[in-house]
Amino acid sequence: MSEWWRGSVTYQVYPRSFQDSDGDGIGDLPGITARLPYLAQLGVEAVWLSPIFKSPMADMGYDVSDYIDIDPLFGTLDDFDTFVQSAHDLGLRVIIDQVISHSSDQHPFFAASRKSRDGDKADWYVWADAKADGSPPNNWISVFGGSAWEWDSRRRQYYLHNFLPSQPDLNFHNPQVQDWALSVLRFWLDRGVDGFRLDTVNYYFHDDKLRSNGPMPSTDNRPPVNPYEMQDHEFSKSRPENLGWLERMRQLLDEYPDRTMVGEVGDAPHRNVQIMADYTRPGRLHMAYSFDMLGPDFTAAHFRGKIEGFFAGAPDGWPMWAFSNHDVIRHVTRWAAHGGEDAVARQAAAMLLSFEGSICLYQAEELGQVETDILFEELTDPPGIRFWPDYKGRDGCRTPMVWDATAQGGFTTGTPWLPVKPPQLARNAAAQIGVAGSVLEFYRRMLAFRRATPALRQDRTRFFEVPEPILAFARGDALACVFNLSAAAVTVGVTGLLLPDAPQQAATLVGGRLELGPNGFAFLAPQGGLSVHP
């Protein structure tokens, strides 16, 4: 079997916001299919679709009511088949989200489970009796705030929901649930998908003794916005039984040639590296999608520490790195204090696409897109509504793709489900295509450079000992990558030559000294060796 996924670049499409084909203001499969040539020309190798299955949309599709059908908002199974065939015709692989740790409360399985403690689906979800005083069975907290337990008057028990109350957790201690989940994966594999992005991959199993979690150590006297961050979630997720289940899923994928499985893996800092290592051992996940670079940190020590930490802790594993996704503030906005928006956008592309591992780009980051300022009355995201204004939710990074400068950015002829605002409209794709120096053309160039440079796909990383704000590393013996992570000019000593056809920004090499302007970067080839030094 080939390992096409190793070192690949995947583009995440948020279906509601990519392209609307029917004027209802919501993106759909025919719209995405029509835009596939844009992605092929961009130079990515795979497309990841966030959930498109039938859903009440309480959490924008991450609450599934039918796992083997398409929600009418997005189209039909025939539309999906056309999308897959069109992607394959363009040389693009297809990865789809699978949200099997929990379902919607509108799923027929949950309706049957809550109906009776004796039915055939009674043990398909996580149910527990109340304590004698009527309180929940333990202290577990929902990611979206409040108790992770919801009282159900029909069964007169609590059920577990790690997210919204309308997203009850499936009980993977029940072998029948595992068998059913494998049948879902097989359904989509048989339709030709090339792999899965497994949502909340470490939430499948809970502690069967329902032990309470302990506190998360903190030096901050002020509580966080979300109390979920105050708990060490030792018993509510990342349980050891999960590893056997990952192996069952991997055995299924191995029945099909050239498929891949990437898990959304995240836990507390003191156990995250071990979780990554355990989940990516041979026979489990092909890749671990990391949260480590989705925050505000923008230092050489941070990026170096996360890359070295992963490969030291999981030498047999393989990471997938990302700077943005549908759950976090866009990175150009997060890192705005470190340089001009376009300069930071280009530097972020050069840096991310030179990291060892596989890469995931989030839609519109190739445009240098910035976070949308969403008003309270425009919100759709449940945690944003709950924790406003200290946390504004995820809608700001989910606004529609902007294709041109028309009123709705070419996304829809109707009213978009989230607003298209002037700062986003200014970064439309049509205004950047073919324009030298635009962020979009830089992404195209950098993606082509990665494809044409074997060292960036397969060689190991060796970091050079240089001070902040310089991040410098070699990929094998053939390439050095040097980045100035600041808005001030810096100079470092180098042994090597600027690669004449490689992307660079504000970089000049004079007499063995590399001068890097604000957010400057360069790629170097050996000349009598390869080194970067103060």
Q: What is the pLDDT along the chain (534 residues), one digit of tens a residue?
A: 689 999 999 999 999 999 999 999 999 999 999 999 999 999 999 999 999 999 999 999 999 999 999 999 999 999 999 999 999 999 999 999 999 999 999 999 999 999 999 999 999 999 999 999 999 999 999 999 999 999 999 999 999 999 999 999 999 999 999 999 999 999 999 999 999 999 999 999 999 999 999 999 877 778 899 999 999 999 999 999 999 999 999 999 999 999 999 999 888 888 888 999 999 999 999 999 999 999 999 999 999 999 999 999 999 999 999 999 999 999 999 999 999 999 999 999 999 999 999 999 999 999 999 999 999 999 999 999 999 999 999 999 999 999 999 999 999 999 999 999 999 999 999 999 999 999 999 999 999 999 999 999 999 999 999 999 999 999 999 999 999 999 999 999 999 999 999 999 999 999 999 999 999 999 999 998 899 999
What's the confidence (pLDDT) of residue 1? 63
Do the domains spanning 9-100+175-450 and 462-533 agree at the CATH topology level?
A: no
Cβ-Cβ contacts under 8 Å for 294 (sequence gap 6 or more): 322, 323, 324, 325, 327, 328, 331
Of 405, 323, 407, the residue nearest 357 (C-alpha): 323
Of 277, 220, 281, the residue nearest 247 (C-alpha): 281
Helix runs in 353-500, H state only: 382-387, 422-425, 439-452, 454-458
Which residues share a beta bridge with 19?
none
Cα–Cα distance, 362 to 461 (Å, whole number):
24
Of 190, 170, 161, the residue nearest 81 (C-alpha): 190
Of 382, 326, 136, the residue nearest 236 (C-alpha): 136
Of 72, 75, 3, 95, the residue nearest 34 (C-alpha): 75
Cα–Cα distance, 394 to 477 (Å, whole number):
41
Taken in order 213, 206, 272, 142, is the CA torsion positive or negative?
negative
Question: Any idea what DSSP says for residue 522?
Answer: E
Identify the active-site residue in 118, 133, 255, 390: 255
Q: Is 199 assigned a catalytic role?
A: yes
Question: 482 — phi, psi (to 5°)?
Answer: -130, 130
3-state secondary structure of 200: coil
- The one-letter amino acid code at 274 reads Q
Q: Is 378 assigned a catalytic role?
A: no
- Continuous segment of H or E residues that includes residue 334: helix 331-334
3-state secondary structure of 343: helix
In contact, 476 and 459? CB cutoff 8 Å: yes
462-533 CATH pick, 2.40.50.140, 3.40.50.150, 3.40.50.300, 2.60.40.1180 = 2.60.40.1180
Residue ranges of domains in the chain: 9-100+175-450, 462-533
- Percentage helix, strand, coil, to 5, in the chain? 30, 20, 50
Which tokens belong to 215? 């506190």
Looking up tokens 């996704």 gives 325
* Class of the CATH-defined domain 9-100+175-450: alpha beta
Which tokens belong to 348? 């972020």
